[in-house]
Amino acid sequence: VLSGCGVYDGTEIHEASAILVHLSRGGAEVQMYAPDVPQMHVIDHSKGQPAEAESRNVLVESARIARGKIASLAKLTTADHDAVIFPGGFGAAKNLSTFAVDGKDCKVNREVERVLRDFHKAGKPIGLCCISPVLAAKVLSGAEVTVGHEEEEGGKWPYAGTAGAIKELGGKHCVKEVTISLPAHVDTKNKVVTTPAFMCETALHHIFDGIGAMVKNVLKLTGK
């Protein structure tokens, strides 16, 4: 499930690509979806500032990553899929929810909430990385997730405050690394698998490997 195209106002592209590579390597068939809604705002990534005069659609922008092969999130059903995965990027906190603005009081997009609840009820695994675990924390009360560490540690974990927000949302936060073994957390009860990804300032290949651990565990939980 994508949330646009670009780290500051949509899907983190490297995370989406890593997920797709690991799913391909795992032999999975993939269908991409995104909500057909306007973005919260548009960021000029060359300046890191909002482009005030622009407006973009989440589904249309997500189609860039999907190479055009994408459908509206309203069409996603548990009957057609064994698992669902959410990459990170600020789009998860801006377009799939209002977490970026409202924190613990955020609202989750209606279709995103439906998908999370439906897959959870069906006992089918849910994978999330980077900032997107806040979605599970908000919708699935008591779910165990990770966004990495709970302290910034000199800038290595610049978004460490998210861990506290997850607890306020009703989730349980588990500290995890990016660069050593077991970089993904598996909540076996809820079948929720999470990994920190770009919540950590580290080398890209470590993030790629951590995402691989998340994808591997999601596929394992499908039992196929």
Q: Which residues are catalytic?
A: 130
What count of other Cβ atoms lies within 10 Å of the Cβ of residue 51? 14
The 3-state DSSP class for residue 2 equals coil
- CA 214 to centroid of chain Cα atoms: 11
Which of helix, strand or coil describes residue 78? helix
CA distance 143 to 190: 7
97 φ/ψ angles, rounded to the nearest 5 degrees: -160, 180
Strand partners, 186: 193
* Helix then strand then coil, % of the chain, to nearest 5: 40, 15, 45
Paired tokens of 140? 């699935």
Strand duo 192-195 + 126-129: pairing:
parallel
CB 134 within 8 A of CB 93: yes
Q: What sections of 45-183 are H helices per DSSP?
A: 58-65, 91-94, 99-102, 110-121, 133-139, 161-169
